[in-house]
Amino acid sequence: MTTATVRTGTRPVFWVALGLLAVVLLALPLILRSDSRLNIAILVLVYAALAQAWNLLGGFAGQISLGNAAFFGLGAYTSTILFSRWEVTPWLGMLGGALVAAVFAVIIGYPVFRLGGHYFAIATIAMAEIVLTVFNDWEFVGGAVGLLIPFARVDGRPADSWYYLQFNQHKEPYYYIALALVVLVTAVTIGVSRSKVGYYLRAIKNDQQAARALGVHVLRYKLIAIALSAAFSAIVGTFYAQYLLYIDPETTMRLELSVLIALVAILGGVGTVAGPLIGAAVLIPAAELTRSQLGGTGNAVDLILYGGLIILISIFQPNGLMGLVERVRRRGRGRPLTPPSDEEALAREEAPLLGTYEEERG
């Protein structure tokens, strides 16, 4: 029996589900009706966008970064400095931050991409730690104390302003902006995955030497991936700065943040468009709820439960939560859920030598 994995076309059911999801997401602030619950929803969207941006580099190109917080932080700092010193609107600051992060990523990526395998991940940790240290000691950007973002004021009172991207009275616009960012990064991801760049990145993830033999300029495409990943992480960074109205190196650049971004994408399902979104929707509320319900007791029960959830997903869904979705989709069609084990692959390769290979000419 030959096993075949056939790509299923997009069916009407998918579009109906997507429409329902859109309605629910748009109506969510009305349903939640509390700032603390809205806060969790906004955090879910922030991590979904960050994980999706990570996915372009880690998921498609297979370059595992544990330093994406540096790009996030650069975005937050660029727009904040432009705004607090020169009153540049954060919307422009957002683009400025994206540019700064992308250029920085390319400068870092150029030497670092020559490192193979695990060394790339280690180098990204070092890169982010260096950026963190520099910002901690740099007076111009506020050092370890951080920066306060001045309130947008009308008649001397803090006010809501789309121009200044600040909503001090009602938080709902933050939710919708975050949602728009997730849609934007996801749309870009879908666009990339269907383009030459997306195909090349998947080839690079699979086998760099084979990709080169087919004319793929491996370094160039990795640089495109890291620049895109950095730019979108930075855009989310600007949003986050405007949401908190205060930034310091610890909140925006710490290693823990880089790890969480990677974790959300990996546990959701790398290299798929929906994976990072599902990962954020499951992991972030789990983290926030366990902390608000069980945190503060001093015995870290919340962290134990949260860690336990991560271990369970790793054991039962090594392909991430998207593996679960695939399982439901393929149920009853007799298709393999996981790639064949080494033994199976070997048996399959040896089959033709034993003469059981069925002839097939198109």
Partner 1 sequence: MALLEVDGVTKQFDGLVANQDVSFHVEEGEIVGLIGPNGAGKTTLFNCISGFFPPTRGTIRLDGTDITGWAPERVVHQGLARTFQVVRTFPDLTVRENVMIGAFARTNSTAQARRIADELIAFTGLASRADVLGANLTIADKKRVELTRALATGPRLLMLDEVMAGLTPTERVQAVELIRAIRERGVTVLLVEHVMEVVMPISHRVIVLDSGRKIAEGPPAAIVENPEVIAAYLGEKYRPQRTGED
Judged by the rule CB under 8 A, the positions of this chain that interact with partner 1 are 2-7, 194-196, 199-200, 202-203, 205-207, 209-218, 271, 336, 339-340, 345, 348-349, 351-353, 355, 357, 359-362
CB 112 within 8 A of CB 55: no
- As measured in angstroms, the least distance from the Cβ of 334 to partner 1 is 14
Between 5 and 169, whose beta carbon lies closer to partner 1?
Answer: 5
Strand partners, 154: 157
Between 6 and 328, whose beta carbon lies closer to partner 1?
Answer: 6
Q: Output phi, psi for 158, to 5 deg.
A: -55, 135
Sign of CA dihedral 12, 14, 16, 22: negative
Cβ count within 10 A of residue 49: 29
- As measured in angstroms, the least distance from the Cβ of 218 to partner 1 is 7
- As measured in angstroms, the least distance from the Cβ of 350 to partner 1 is 8
What b/e readout covers 284-301, taking b as 16+ CB neighbours within 10 angstroms? Answer: beebbebeeebbeeeeee
**Distance between CA atoms of 118 and 359, rounded to whole angstroms?**
42
Please count the residues of the chain: 362
Q: What are the CB-based long-range contacts (under 8 Å, 24+) for 168-172?
A: 171/35, 171/38, 171/39, 171/42, 172/29, 172/38
**Distance between CA atoms of 322 and 276, rounded to whole angstroms?**
9
CB 261 within 8 A of CB 51: yes
- As measured in angstroms, the least distance from the Cβ of 272 to partner 1 is 11
User: Where does 113-138 have alpha helices with state H?
Assistant: 118-137
**Distance between CA atoms of 249 and 123, rounded to whole angstroms?**
19
- As measured in angstroms, the least distance from the Cβ of 349 to partner 1 is 5
Between 211 and 321, whose beta carbon lies closer to partner 1?
Answer: 211
Between 8 and 314, whose beta carbon lies closer to partner 1?
Answer: 8
- As measured in angstroms, the least distance from the Cβ of 271 to partner 1 is 8
Between 155 and 342, whose beta carbon lies closer to partner 1?
Answer: 342
Nearest to 339 by CA among 222, 209, 206: 206
Between 272 and 290, whose beta carbon lies closer to partner 1?
Answer: 272
Between 209 and 297, whose beta carbon lies closer to partner 1?
Answer: 209
Strand partners, 161: 166
Give me the half-sphere count of Cα atoms (radius 13 Å) on the Cβ side of residue 273: 14
Between 256 and 358, whose beta carbon lies closer to partner 1?
Answer: 358
Between 2 and 34, whose beta carbon lies closer to partner 1?
Answer: 2
- As measured in angstroms, the least distance from the Cβ of 50 to partner 1 is 24
- As measured in angstroms, the least distance from the Cβ of 55 to partner 1 is 15
**Distance between CA atoms of 310 and 307, rounded to whole angstroms?**
5
- As measured in angstroms, the least distance from the Cβ of 249 to partner 1 is 38
